Amino acid sequence: MATKAYYKHEEIGAGKVGFSKTRSIIEAAFYGNNVVKVNTLKQAYELAKNSPGTIVTDMPVYRGEEFGLDKDAKVLLFNDGAITGRYAAARRIAGEPGVDCEALDKVAMDAVYEARWKKMYHAEVYVGLDPEFMVKAHLLIPEGEENIMYSWMLNFQYMSEDYVKMYKESIPVGDGNEADIYIFSDPQWVPVEHPGVSFDCLSDPAKKTLCYFNTETNCACILGMRYFGEHKKGTLTMAWAIANRNGYASCHGGQKEYTLADGSKYVASVFGLSGSGKSTLTHAKHGGKYDITVLHDDAFIINTDTCSSIALEPTYFDKTADYPTGCEDNKYLLTSMNNSATLDEEGKIQIVTEDIRNGNGRAIKSKLWSPNRVDKIESPVNSIIWIMKDPTIPPVVKLKGSALASVMGATLATKRSSAERLAPGVDPNKLVVVPYANPFRTYPLANDYEKFKKLVEEKNVDCYIVNTGDFMGKKVKPADTLGILEAIVEKKAEFKPWGPFSDIEIMDWEGFVPDLNDAEYKTQLKARMQDRVNEVEEFATAKGGYDKLPDEAVEALKKLVAELS
C-alpha cells in the first residue's frame, strides 16, 4: 500500500509512524458511532442530491457511468453563501514560528467533541494517479455538507475497481513511513468559549475560521469554512508535503508533452498565478500542429531523479466566468458551486455562469474535457517556464545558471490589481510575489528552491520567464506567447545575450525590443529586480527565518542589479 492505514499491535504507540498528538485527536473521530461510511460515488451523489439547498439541474453528467455514476446523473449546483473564495489568513501550519500547536490542538479537541451531536460522513479518495505515487486521503464532514464531500470525491480519485487494484500494487511512499491523510472538517463550526480552550491561536479570531495543518503527520482540521476550495487545496497541501519529503518537486502548475513530426518529444511545465494564462497554455492545442498530451493544469509532482511527472487529480476545478450558458465546454461539468440558475425555453434548469451572482463561480470538469489527458508523463521534463506579469520583462527570456533559475521561481511575480487598495507610501508598481506560484507550501521554502535548482543544475532542464501581461505598456497577446512556446518546442528559438546581463538571454520578438538606453525603462527594470532582492532578504528574517534561502540565491539576484548599474 502506498500510505499506511493498518497497524500491527507492535507498530502502535508514541513516537511511531502515524501516532502524534494532533493526529490522534483527528483520527479517533473517524471511528465514532455517529459516523457513516460513504463507499461509492453513487452513494455520495444521492446524498448530495438530497441535501437541503441543492439545485438538481437538468444538465446531464456527460458519460457519467464512466465515473462511477448512474447514466441519468445530473450536474448538481450548490451555493455557499457570502464567502466564495479561500481565506489564506485562516491557515495555521504546525512547525512554523509562532504557531501554538498546544492551543490549536485544544480547539480541534473541542470541535471533535461538539461534532458528536451530528451525523458525520467518512469518505476516502486517492491523491496521485500512478503506482509510483498514490496516497490515501480520508475526509470526515457533517450531515448537511454532502455537496462538499461529493465534490471532494469527484475532484480526487474515487475508489473505483481499477484504482483500488492499482493502489494495492503501488509503491509504499517513504518506505512505509507515510500514514494516510486524515482531514476533519466542520463547516458549521463556530467558536464557543469552553474551559481550557482559547481562540487567540486563530490567525484572525474575528473571522471564526481555522485551517490547521500538521503536514508532518498528514492530518488537518478545517473549521467554519464552507468553500470547497479550502478542502481541495487543503488535501493537496498535505499531498505536496508528502511528495516534498520523498524526493519530488511539488508543482502548482500545468504540464504537457509535445510529440513533433519527427517523433521527438518535448515536455514543458508552466507555473503562474491565477489569471496568468497557466491553464490556457497547458490546454492550448496549437492548431493541431503537434500530438499533445496534458498531465494537468493545476497539481502535479516531478521526480527529481527520473524527471518523470505524475498528476495528483483526475478532474479540473475551474472558474466558470469565461464559460457562458450553452458553451460547449459546459458539457463536461460534473458539479458546480457559487453560480445562479434559471429556466430555459423548455422549462429546464440551467446554470447561470459568468460570475453574475458573485465572483469566483466554480465547477468541477471531468477528465474528458481534455481528450488528450494522461496521468503520468514518463519522458523527462525539458523546460520550466515561470509565467509572470512584470511589465519590465520582455515576452520571453532564458535564464542561465541553476541558482538564478530557481530563485526567479521563488520570486515569481505579478502586477498588483488596479482595484487593490494600498496603504500610503506603497509603490503601486511593486510586484506581488508568490514563490513558485504555490501559496499552499507547509515546509521551508528552501526545500522547493533546492528541488528546482537540482532539475536545472543536474538534469539540464531549461528555464524561461514568459511575460503574459504587458511589456512597458504594450500587451503581450496569447498569440505571442503561443508563438514563443512553439519556437522553443521546435528548437527554432534563437537566444542571445541581453544587454549587460551575463545570466539572462533574450529572443527577439516582433514589437517587443527592450531599449536599455532608455533611462526610464532601465530604472524600472532595476527597481523590479531590486524588489526580488528585497523579497529574498525578507525571507531570511520573516517567520524567524523559516523560509530563508541559501546565500547564493540572493547573490544571483544582486548580480543582476549590479549589472544594470
pLDDT computed for residue 419 by the predictor: 41
Rounded CA-CA distance 468/478 in Å is: 7
Q: Where does the pLDDT of residue 451 fall: very low under 50, low under 70, confident under 90, or very high at 90 and above?
A: very high
Q: Which of 156, 179, 152 is nearest to 45 (CA)?
A: 152
Rounded CA-CA distance 466/463 in Å is: 10
462-502 pLDDT per residue, tens: 999 999 999 989 999 999 999 999 999 999 999 999 999 99
- Check: CB of residue 278 under 8 Å from CB of residue 271: yes
Place of cell 509503491: 171
Q: Which residues are bridge partners to 140 per DSSP?
A: 122, 184
Q: Where does the pLDDT of residue 193 fall: very low under 50, low under 70, confident under 90, or very high at 90 and above?
A: confident
371-425 pLDDT per residue, tens: 899 999 999 999 999 999 999 999 999 999 999 999 999 999 876 544 444 456 6
How many other C-beta atoms are found inside a 10 Å radius of the C-beta of residue 166? Answer: 18
pLDDT computed for residue 426 by the predictor: 61
Angle at 165 between CA 164 and CA 166, to 5 degrees: 90
Higher pLDDT, 6 or 551: 551
231-263 pLDDT per residue, tens: 999 999 999 999 999 999 999 999 999 999 999
Buried b (16+ CB within 10 A) or exposed e, 228-253: bbbbbbbbbbbbbbbbbbeebbbbbb
Q: Where does the pLDDT of residue 427 fall: very low under 50, low under 70, confident under 90, or very high at 90 and above?
A: low
The set of cell numbers assigned to 196 is 481550557
DSSP summary character for residue 67: G
pLDDT for 72 beyond 70: yes
Rounded CA-CA distance 304/309 in Å is: 9
Q: Which of 26, 24, 188 is nearest to 108 (CA)?
A: 26
pLDDT for 132 beyond 70: yes
pLDDT for 213 beyond 80: yes
The set of cell numbers assigned to 97 is 514560528
pLDDT computed for residue 429 by the predictor: 65
Q: Which residues are bridge partners to 463 per DSSP?
A: 384
* Average confidence (pLDDT) over 438-457: 96
Rounded CA-CA distance 461/454 in Å is: 9
Instruction: State the DSSP H helix or E strand holding residue 470, giving kind and residue range, or none if neither.
Output: strand 470-471
- Check: CB of residue 96 under 8 Å from CB of residue 355: no
Residue 399's contacts (CB-CB under 8 Å, 6 or more residues apart) are 405, 408, 463, 464, 465, 503, 504
The set of cell numbers assigned to 76 is 448538481
pLDDT computed for residue 292 by the predictor: 96
- Check: CB of residue 322 under 8 Å from CB of residue 292: no
Q: Which residues are bridge partners to 259 per DSSP?
A: 265, 291
Pairing state between β 133-142 and 120-130: antiparallel
Q: Where does the pLDDT of residue 224 fall: very low under 50, low under 70, confident under 90, or very high at 90 and above?
A: very high
Mean pLDDT score of the chain, rounded to an integer? 93
How many other C-beta atoms are found inside a 10 Å radius of the C-beta of residue 503? Answer: 17
Side chain identity at residue 128, one-letter code: G
pLDDT computed for residue 510 by the predictor: 84
Three-state DSSP class for 54?
coil
Q: Which of 315, 319, 317 is nearest to 354 (CA)?
A: 319
Rounded CA-CA distance 186/223 in Å is: 5
Rounded CA-CA distance 216/389 in Å is: 34
Lowest mean pLDDT among 13-17, 57-61, 205-209: 205-209
Phi-psi region of 197 (alpha: psi -120 to 50; beta: other; left: phi over 0): beta
Distance of CA 357 to the CA centre of its chain: 25
pLDDT computed for residue 336 by the predictor: 98
Rounded CA-CA distance 563/503 in Å is: 10
Rounded CA-CA distance 463/12 in Å is: 46
pLDDT computed for residue 290 by the predictor: 95
pLDDT computed for residue 424 by the predictor: 65
- Check: CB of residue 260 under 8 Å from CB of residue 489: yes
How many other C-beta atoms are found inside a 10 Å radius of the C-beta of residue 486? Answer: 17
Q: Alpha-carbon dihedral of residues 303, 307, 313, 316, nearest 10 degrees?
A: 140
E strands within 283-325? Answer: 291-296, 300-303, 309-311, 316-319
The verdict on pTM exceeding 0.75 is yes
Place of cell 503520468: 376
- Check: CB of residue 400 under 8 Å from CB of residue 497: no
Q: Which of 119, 91, 112, 153 is nearest to 317 (CA)?
A: 153
pLDDT computed for residue 342 by the predictor: 97
Place of cell 502548482: 252
Q: Where does the pLDDT of residue 189 fall: very low under 50, low under 70, confident under 90, or very high at 90 and above?
A: very high
What is the full DSSP assignment across 193-239? --TT--STTSS-GGG--EEEEEGGGTEEEEES---HHHHHHHHHHHH
pLDDT computed for residue 550 by the predictor: 97
